Amino acid sequence: MSVNEILLTIKLHQQIFVDPKRIRLLKAIDETGSINQGAKLAQVSYKSAWDHLEMMDRVSPRPLLERNAGGKKGGGTRLTAYAHRLLKLYQLLEDTQNTAFEILQKEDIPLDNPLFATSLFSLQTSARNQFFGRVSELKKENGHYYVGINIAGLKTQLCACITPQSAARLQLSLDKDVMFMVKAPWIRVHKSPIDTPYNQFQAIVKSVHDHEMVIEFGKGSQATECVVGLRETGYRVGDIVYFTIDPDQIIIASLL
């Protein structure tokens, strides 16, 4: 057992349903096809195994075991589909607990924003740019929802355009925390301001590479970097630039 291991117990009707020992027993039965052999593998007595199984069966909404009658190959015991789902759920909850403990150790991660905290450890996407903000405006227009998002470091809100179905699925509301993602090629950089009604912000060039560069907006603790694809040359580190993002090319994520 590792020093940081968190033991997970699930209760139903105020009674213990599963804990690490019972999960270990179910896995052993699944592996051996036998309660007797499973008990040995899980390093518990046969009587203790039966006691655990009876207590689980007493509170479980569905059967956990299927027993096969003896035949040429002998009888046996196997887990039901519900028991297999229970094992997967338990593993998922264990992974979530471990992630939460890792987040606890990172003092620079605020714990008042579950979306921000968990996404740093759990969410990986192909979009190079991932930002966090809070919904500041919801406006339905021409069959679409225009979502205003306040972002630290930007003086004006960002605007994203999504379908009504997406807005409903994300359960968007004012002041809700959201994450939005933008692929590097979707961000356009200009050497001077352009005429556009949405999403134009000032930034500074931090680095320039062959086909992309890194720009930074905001100041001090609110400074944020993003990666953009290069469509033209002539940019140098330290240049003041203006970047724009099409509202249709912003992907929004939220916790329900």
The string of pLDDT tens digits covering residues 217-226 is 987 777 889 9
> pTM score, two decimals?
0.62
Asked whether residue 95 falls in the same domain as residue 126, the answer is no
Residue 57 lies in a domain: yes
Residue 25 lies in a domain: yes
Asked whether residue 92 falls in the same domain as residue 154, the answer is no
Asked whether residue 60 falls in the same domain as residue 146, the answer is no
Residue 150 structural domain: 114-253
What's the confidence (pLDDT) of residue 131? Answer: 87
Asked whether residue 89 falls in the same domain as residue 167, the answer is no
Asked whether residue 50 falls in the same domain as residue 168, the answer is no
Two tokens, residue 56: 């689980």
Asked whether residue 45 falls in the same domain as residue 158, the answer is no
Give me the number of domains the chain comprises: 2
Asked whether residue 140 falls in the same domain as residue 55, the answer is no
Coil vs helix vs strand at 150: strand
Chain segment 53-99, per-residue pLDDT in tens: 999 999 999 999 998 765 444 568 999 999 999 999 999 888 878 77
Residue 170 lies in a domain: yes
Residue 3 lies in a domain: no
Measure the CA–CA gap between 152 and 131, rounded to whole angstroms.
Answer: 9
Asked whether residue 141 falls in the same domain as residue 229, the answer is yes
